[in-house]
Every structure is written in C-alpha cells, then in structure tokens.
Chains A and B, each alone.
Chain A
Amino acid sequence: MIVIETKNLDKVYNLDSIKVSALNNVSIQINQGELVGIMGPSGSGKSTLMNLLGCLDRPTQGEVWIAGSRVDNLNDNNLAFIRSKQVGFVFQSYNLLPRLKVVENVELPLIYQGVSAFLRRKKAEEVLERVGLKERMRHRPSQISGGEQQRVALARALVTNPSFILADEPTGNLDSKTGKEIIKLLQDLNDTGITVLLITHDRFLAEHTGRVIHLKDGEVVRDEVLLNPIREV
C-alpha cells in the first residue's frame, strides 16, 4: 500500500522577484512500512520536499497524495488537519515547548485533535513507555538530556498514530552514541510497521535505511535500494 506519492512536483520560490526553482519534477512513491532515507547536500531541495510531504506547504505544481487522499490543493485548516492525523514530525532541534512538562509536550498533538484529557494522558504515557522515558514524564525539557529530548519528540510524533514519521536530521544535534540510539529507536519502530522518512545529508546515517532517494538541485537523481542496511543494536 502506498502511503506517500508525489506526481511531477515543482516548487518555485519568489525571492525578491527572482524565481528560484527548489524542486523540479519530483515523483516518488513510499510504501507502508518502509524506512526511507532522503539524501542530498544542502540546497538539494530536501527541506522543501519535507515541507511538502509534511503538509506544511503547497507545491507550485504537481500533486501530493497522502494515505490515498490528495492534499496539495487543501486550505490551511485542512492541511493542519492532515498534519494532525497523518504526519509525525521529528526535528533536528527537538522543538519541544520549554514551559510544558515532557508528558504535556507529548499530549500536544492530541489536544488539537480534541482528545479528552484522560485519554490524552493515557496515550502519552503509552508512547513514553515505548521510547523508555515514562519515569521522566514530569520533567521539563531543560531538565533532560538532548537524546532524551529527541526521544520525547519521537513520542510526540508517535502519539497520534500517524501514517508516517518525518525525521529531519534527527541526530544532527546529538553526539554519535546518542545519535545511534535514536537511529536504533527509529529502526525498532519501523520493525513494528511504522513508515519512517529520514531526511539527512549524512551518507552513514542514510545507510541505516532500506532505500535512499538521492536529491540534487531539486531533482531525484537516484533511487537506491540497500539490501543490507546497517543495524544499530
């Protein structure tokens, strides 16, 4: 089953009336349960592609389909709804809200889905248990380590049971040991059937996935299948 599909995606930015093409004719398909790396140097269009797949932005041309629905022509509110239901974001800089406790950060997406307080807490505790941070749930982000913060962000991405997780350089702010723990967590989650997109410029990181889509100058230059991805244990 196809979770994400793009058809002839173009994205052009108008910077001071100069047109800059960030994506050019990108067509990809991601299947349910895949762990896919999207790789490319800076300026290759990775971030633009992530914004489009994450329903944060709309393409200039082309189509984006997520879990069988077309989303590129939706208005802001409907895009917010799709983000809320289908997408789980993990950012390089964690992006937790500093004033909320760990468990409240995890509950955040459920609040905007209108889930009751009791059920929110129950689900948040479940996913925190899954990422091994249940005992830290009453801490604030500033009171836990970077690796732990990223795991909280992962829990927040998982709590809505999304169609896929979009991880943008998730290890970029971490030391290599902690980075590997996060990669292992992503691999473990993928083993349970969750679709994961890993956006990175790092070849070594990308080799942990089963498939790498190479972007360069806004175009897909290679769609590589890795038969023996690196496993972190």
Chain B
Amino acid sequence: MDISHTLKIVLNSINSNKTRNFLTMLGILIGVFAIVLMVSIGEGVRLDINKQIESLGSNIIFVTSGNPIQGSGTRRIGPQGMGGGFMGVTPLTNKDYNALLKIKGVKISPVISRSGVLKYSGLTESVQMTGSNYVYSEIASLPLLEGKYFGKRNEDAQEKVVIIGYKIYSEILNSNALNKTVYINDMPFKVIGVLKERGVSMMGNQDTEVYVPYRVMQNIANNENITTIYVSVRSQEEIDRVKKEIITLLKKVRGKENFRLTTQSQILEITGTIIGTLNLALGGIAAVSLLVGGIGIMNIMLVSVAERTREIGIRKAVGARRKDILAQFLLEAVFLSLAGGLLGLLMAYLGSLVLKNFSVPSAITSNSVVVAITFSTFIGVVFGVYPAYRAASLDPIVALRYE
C-alpha cells in the first residue's frame, strides 16, 4: 500500500485531535527525556571521574592498610584504612614509608587526609587538609600560582607551612597570601604557596584544599599513622616489578600481608562498575515512565480505532486488506511515539545544557540518541500492535453499520 497516502492519513488523524495526541506524546516525551538525561548525567560523571583519576598522575600505586585485593573481582569488606586504627585494621606508619624508600627509581610520598577549619582575620572556611612530603607536588603535579611547595628543609624542620587552594587564596586571603599566617584547626601556619584554580571534582572542591608537611600533621595527631602511601613509577611497565618489591618490603616490616596496593586502572575499573550500576538503576526508573507512556499510546489508539470503526468499514469495503488497516494504525502509533521520543531527546539536550550551567557534568552521546529513537519506535510498535490488530480484525459489515 501507498506509504505517502498512509502517512497523510496518519498526519491528518493526528492533526485532527491535537490536544489528545499531544498529551499522549507527552508520556513518551517525558520517558525519553528522563532516560536520556539520566544516562547522559551518568556518562558525564564517569568521564569526569576518569579525568580526575587520570590527572592524579598516570603511574601511581596507592598503598593502603587492609587486606589485599584478591584479583579485581572481589572487594575488601569495610572502609579503606583511615590513618588511625579502624575496625582492627593496622594502619600504615612511618616505618612502612621508610622501608619503601629503599625502592630505586620511584617517587614516594606518604599522604594523610583530614578535614579542618581554616581561619584568617575573622573569616572561616572548611578545608580538606592533606599532609605529604616534599616530593608530593611532583607526584600529583600540583600547579602553583605563586610561591612554592615546601622543600626537604621545611619538612625536616617540621615547619608549620601551608600551600593553599585557589578559593582560600581569593576569598579568604583576598588574593594576598604569601607569608601570611592562617589558622588551621586553631594552629598557626605560614602560607608559602598558592595553587592555581582547579575546580570542583567528585571528591570535593579542589580549591579548598590545603597542603602541609605530613610530620606536622602527625605531631598534631600525636601518632605516626599514614592514610595512603603514593608510589609513583616512571612507566607502566615497571608497575608489576615495583608492586612485588613493595609487597616484599612491607611484609618484612609488618610481618603479614595486611595492606593493599591499588593502581589507577583498578580504580577506573571499580568506579566504572559503580557508575555503570548506578546508570542502569537510573535508566530503569526512567524506563518505567516510558512504559507508562506506552500504555497511554495504547489507550489512545484503542479510542482512535473505536472512533474510526466506520472509516475502517469503508476502507475494507473498497478493497483494503487486513494488512493495509494494520499498517495504517501501527504507523499512527509509531508516529506518535517517535515524535514524542524526538521531542524528548530535544528536551534532554536542552536539559543537559542547563545542567552544565550548574556544573553538573552530562554528555549526550550518539548512543543515547540511538537508544531514544530505537526505544520510542519499539514502544510505538509494542503498544500499537494490539489496537491495530483490533482495527484490522473488524468485520466490515459490522464496521459499516457502526454509528
């Protein structure tokens, strides 16, 4: 049968019930909008996190306390070592760090993380405090705006010096920071360096971070605990060799293998899995609304078939076969659904632009476009088949008599 004619009938029919059909389309529109936006946010978050993990530096082995990972499939139960003894986990200490210093051709820094409150001339700001050694700025490639990172001399002397993030520099210290004294958790620190603006990451605002010598933090805490030891390797090929060395050395110091090594590729893999699951869940919830939209289409198509019973009778009388009628109504359902889907896609695109303004990462991929079109066509077919089948099965005599 003639496609252009069918299309004309379909457009005619949709046009003659504008409000009703628009509302029906709205169901699909919202469904597709939700799915595409959810997935694009998930995808945006994934890209963002990957970028940040990669920006840590490419070949870092993270040493933490806890039980070793048995392959990448099994996850350790309980949180990562927090620096202090936690749930029976023996924390890493300076002894472990010093042992690892024997490894040749790597850069090593202990890292201690705490939250804190920074005060300066009456203003306060919550900060993320990182204690490290002087090599850390090279390992994490921290970009300096002015001043310098602390050196070996500052570290050995256990000087209370601090490198501050851009937000603290610009908002608390009014862009005039070097050699000023700030108070972190009520302890005085001298500002010797300022970092360039780095923006918000999934791990928090990088511009409210402060960096101090690790020994200073240990003194404050009155222990020798270390949250994580960063071991930076020159190239990917050396990772396995260095890992073996770390294990041998730490086993000797700690007596047993109660620590674990994580590499960037493992972190990428783990976050990838988490976000993938999250995406699936979000997409699943959104898919429910698409399902509801599909039921709306079925409903309206059944109404349409009932209203046009006589038309169906006439068409059959002048020679329309079952499949002609089936095609007509199926096409109408698919058209409604597809139009709703495309509008939903457009709305999702606009939505992602809006979200970008609020710094929510989102990325509409070609995948989500394909998914939106495929899904809405699929919904149209699935929920259009039954009404179309009813239409095609009408007895022409009964249909012609219908008032």
Which A residues have a C-beta under 8 Å from some C-beta of B? 51, 54, 56-57, 76-77, 80-81, 83-85, 89, 91, 95-97, 99-100, 108-109, 111-114, 117, 156, 160
B107 CB within 8 Å of chain A? no
Question: Is A99 within 8 A of B317, CB to CB?
Answer: no
Query: What residues on B are CB-neighbors of A80 within 8 Å?
Result: 316, 319-322
Query: What residues on B are CB-neighbors of A84 within 8 Å?
Result: 318-319
Give B297-321 as 1s and 0s: 1 = Cβ < 8 Å from A's Cβ atoms: 0000000000000110111111111
The list of the 7 closest CB pairs from A to B, nearest first, reads A84-B319, A109-B318, A112-B319, A80-B321, A95-B314, A56-B396, A112-B320
Give B318-336 as 1s and 0s: 1 = Cβ < 8 Å from A's Cβ atoms: 1111111000000000000
CA separation between A56 and B319, bound complex, in Å?
Answer: 10
Most buried by B among A51, A80, A109: A80
Interface residue tally for chain B (C-beta within 8 Å): 24
Question: Is B317 within 8 A of A111, CB to CB?
Answer: no
Question: Is A97 within 8 A of B2, CB to CB?
Answer: no
Question: Is B317 within 8 A of A83, CB to CB?
Answer: yes
B1 CB within 8 Å of chain A? yes
Query: What residues on B are CB-neighbors of A111 within 8 Å?
Result: 1-2, 5
Most buried by B among A81, A85, A108: A108
Known: A57-B397, A99-B12, A111-B2. A81 touches B321 (CB 8 A): yes
B70 CB within 8 Å of chain A? no
Question: Is A114 within 8 A of B397, CB to CB?
Answer: no
CA separation between A200 and B292, bound complex, in Å?
Answer: 51
Question: Is B319 within 8 A of A113, CB to CB?
Answer: yes
CA separation between A166 and B337, bound complex, in Å?
Answer: 41
Query: What residues on A are CB-neighbors of B318 within 8 Å?
Result: 83-84, 89, 108-109, 112, 156
Question: Is A95 within 8 A of B319, CB to CB?
Answer: no
CA separation between A113 and B2, bound complex, in Å?
Answer: 9
CA separation between A83 and B310, bound complex, in Å?
Answer: 17
Closest to B324 in A: A112
CA separation between A84 and B13, bound complex, in Å?
Answer: 24
Least CB distance from B219 to A in Å reads 86
Query: What residues on A are CB-neighbors of B311 within 8 Å?
Result: 97
Q: Which of B12, B320, B324, B400 contacts A95 (CB under 8 A)?
A: B400
Closest to B16 in A: A99
Known: A56-B397, A76-B322, A80-B319. A97 touches B1 (CB 8 A): no
CA separation between A56 and B313, bound complex, in Å?
Answer: 10
Using a CB-CB cutoff of 8 Å, which residues 15-65 of chain B contact chain A?
A: 16
CA separation between A108 and B322, bound complex, in Å?
Answer: 15
Question: Is B317 within 8 A of A112, CB to CB?
Answer: no
Closest to B317 in A: A89
Closest to B318 in A: A109
16 contacts between A and B (CB under 8 A): A56-B316, A56-B317, A76-B321, A76-B322, A80-B322, A83-B318, A83-B319, A91-B400, A95-B400, A97-B311, A99-B13, A111-B1, A111-B5, A112-B318, A117-B4, A156-B318
Least CB distance from B14 to A in Å reads 11
CA separation between A81 and B318, bound complex, in Å?
Answer: 9
Question: Is B317 within 8 A of A81, CB to CB?
Answer: no
Least CB distance from B372 to A in Å reads 31
Closest to B321 in A: A80
Question: Is A77 within 8 A of B321, CB to CB?
Answer: yes
Known: A80-B320, A112-B321. A51 touches B397 (CB 8 A): yes
CA separation between A97 and B313, bound complex, in Å?
Answer: 11
Most buried by A among B5, B319, B397: B319
CA separation between A83 and B314, bound complex, in Å?
Answer: 12
Closest to A85 in B: B319
Question: Is A117 within 8 A of B397, CB to CB?
Answer: no
CA separation between A113 and B313, bound complex, in Å?
Answer: 17
Most buried by A among B314, B317, B324, B400: B317
CA separation between A224 and B13, bound complex, in Å?
Answer: 48
CA separation between A96 and B311, bound complex, in Å?
Answer: 8
Known: A89-B318, A95-B317. 19 other contacts (CB 8 A): A54-B317, A56-B316, A56-B317, A76-B321, A77-B322, A80-B319, A80-B320, A80-B322, A81-B319, A83-B317, A84-B319, A99-B13, A108-B315, A108-B318, A109-B319, A111-B1, A112-B319, A112-B324, A160-B319
Least CB distance from A29 to B in Å reads 24
Least CB distance from A217 to B in Å reads 20
CA separation between A127 and B232, bound complex, in Å?
Answer: 89
Least CB distance from A45 to B in Å reads 14
Least CB distance from A71 to B in Å reads 14
CA separation between A99 and B314, bound complex, in Å?
Answer: 13
CA separation between A77 and B316, bound complex, in Å?
Answer: 10
Closest to B399 in A: A56
Closest to A157 in B: B318
CA separation between A117 and B173, bound complex, in Å?
Answer: 79
Least CB distance from B379 to A in Å reads 26
Query: What residues on B are CB-neighbors of A99 within 8 Å?
Result: 12-13, 16
Most buried by B among A56, A89, A109, A156: A56
Using a CB-CB cutoff of 8 Å, which residues 313-372 of chain B contact chain A?
A: 313-324
CA separation between A83 and B320, bound complex, in Å?
Answer: 9
Question: Is A112 within 8 A of B397, CB to CB?
Answer: no
